[in-house]
Structure 1
Amino acid sequence: MKDLKNKVAYITGGTKGIGFGVAKALVNEGMKVAISGRSQSSVDQALKEFNSDAVLGIVSDVSKLKDENKAVTKIIEKWEHIDVVLANAGVGNFAPIDEMTAEEWHQMIDVNLNGVFHTLKASVEGLKKSKGYYITLASLAGTNFFANGAGYNASKFGVVGFTQAAMLDLRQYDIKVSTIMPGSVATHFNDNEPSEKDAWKIQPEDIGQLVVDLLKMNERTLPSKIEIRPTRPDKK
């Protein structure tokens, strides 16, 4: 995409953290951006911070295909097309596998893995028309397993595999598909409260810059899987 101005993007989990950081970067490029969250209060707060007609807020639970269908319909009704979709919504529950509850397991699979399928399923026909870009937010946990992470690892390994296979399916329609796999990011994930202690981590605006760079990449070239990590680990 040589010119991002007036292109339309949809970002799930866009009310805070990485999604919010990417939304800001895209708005700064002149794009129109729809952000979704699971609660009206989180959507309202994000819209208040943006204070821009270029941002549309939507309440949607990505674990429900009907919610994502409604979200994409709203976007196309408002802006007539959809060019970029970032499946970013995610949750994390960490515990030894013998202590993890079925509810915690299913929540991660439903949001982290089923969610990226629902978001793509809802938007793929629009992306075919625009020859757009579908991006998933995976994790280095999608290739590196760790103790207490069985459920999260399973969901993110799944996201990486899903995205790479979807890339092969959709390239025939001139749809680009990539997965971004960050390491430690300064967000509210897992009940963290970002502060100076997180200064060594990747910042949400860094992911925003990366997404802009992907969108501006020459159309003949596709970085299909991108690992990103802090330059220096935390000094403990």
Structure 2
Amino acid sequence: MSEKVALVTGAARGIGLATTQLFIEHGWRVAMVDRDGDALSDASTGLNKVSPFEYDVSIPSQVDAMVDSVRQTFGRIDAVVNNAGVADFGPIEDTGFDRWREVMATNLDGVFLVSQACISALRDTRGALVNIASISGLRASTLRVAYGTSKAAVIQLTKQQAAELGEYGIRANCVCPGPVRTKLAMAVHSPEIIASYHDAIPLNRYGTEREIAEVITFLCSDKASYVTGQIIASDGGFESTGVGLPALRT
């Protein structure tokens, strides 16, 4: 069984599901991890070379059990995509400690726990870690004190992982998606928000889940064998322009 195996968290929808589907196209097998059992069952049905694993990455005991189960099922782990996350936006003065901890538990603790539990398996395969942060971890924005801080921490965690795990042949990189045209985003973004994003993004559009998945799977592949410790914004140029003044473009 020499086919490579990817473990993808938050795999039941969005970027995680798109990444799973692209891995399959590239001939990988995939351990699909999500805490939403119903959505996970629906997403995995009909997909070849996948197995669903219903676990919560914010709970240490569940993470250990999940990694053991994945290794027993597939025999190896070649790449880990830490994609699971929660998006809870609100004013800073309305963000109590409980709300802060709920975001950190999945967005930061989950990345740490899964990565730590997978180090042994990744040492065996000289594999890859790809952590999914956000443009909100690179630039401050309103309503994102917990979310943005959690993603900024993931960026630093990635650099620490690259610095220490490189001697084992393990590569660690981070992808920071910008605005992505997900069903959820399109449902909650008003026409005014959409227009403002288009004005602020040099490519003048939202990204797609598939476009983010292309970057993730590249970083997991042998084509990126000398790439580690990198923070890649897949955002249509949003971060590079800072605040920007669209009216001064022409």
TM-score by length of 1: 0.88
Picking from 206, 214, 234, the partner of 1:209 is 214
- Distance verdict in 2 for CA 1:116–1:188, change over 3 Å: farther
Opposite residue 203 of structure 1, the aligned amino acid is T
Q: 11, 16, 29: which is aligned to 2:13?
A: 16
1:220 pairs with 2:220: no
1:22 and 1:209 in contact (8 A); partners too: yes
Partner of 1:39: 36
- Among 115, 120, 124, the residue aligned to 1:120: 115
On the 8 A contact 2:174/2:230 being kept in 1, the answer is yes
**Number of residue pairs aligned between Structure 1 and Structure 2:** 227
CA radius of gyration, larger in = 2
Amino acid at match of 1:31: W
Indicate conservation of the 8 Å contact 2:134/2:176, yes or no.
yes
* Cα distance change of structure 1 residues 231 and 58 upon mapping to structure 2, 3 Å threshold: same
Question: CA separation in 1, counterparts of 2:20 and 2:188?
Answer: 20
CA distances 1:5-43 after superposition (whole Å, capped 9, x unpaired):
710000000110000011110000010001111121011
Q: What percentage of aligned pairs have identical amino acids?
A: 24
Measured after TM superposition, the shift of residue 190 of structure 1 is: 6.6
How much does 1:184 deviate?
A: 0.5
SS at match of 2:21: helix
Mapping 1:1-150, distance limit 5 Å: 6-48=3-45, 51-150=46-145
Note the aligned Cα RMSD (angstroms): 2.4
CA deviation after TM superposition for structure 1 residue 73, in Å: 1.1
Alpha-carbon shift at residue 231 of structure 1 (Å): 5.8
Within-5 A mapping of 1:140-219: 140-188=135-183, 192=187, 200-214=205-219, 215-219=221-225
Q: C-alpha displacement at 1:223, in angstroms?
A: 6.3
Q: Summarize the Cα distance change of 1:231–1:168 in structure 2 as closer, same or farther, 3 Å threshold.
A: closer
Q: d(CA) in 1 for partners of 2:228 and 2:160?
A: 14
Higher relative contact order at CA 8 Å, sep ≥6: structure 1 or structure 2?
Answer: 1
Provide Cα deviations, 1:103-148, integer angstroms capped at 9, x if missing partner: 2211110000001001101111100111000110001111101121
Any unmatched runs of 5+ in structure 2? 199-203, 239-243
Change (3 A) 1:191 1:94: farther
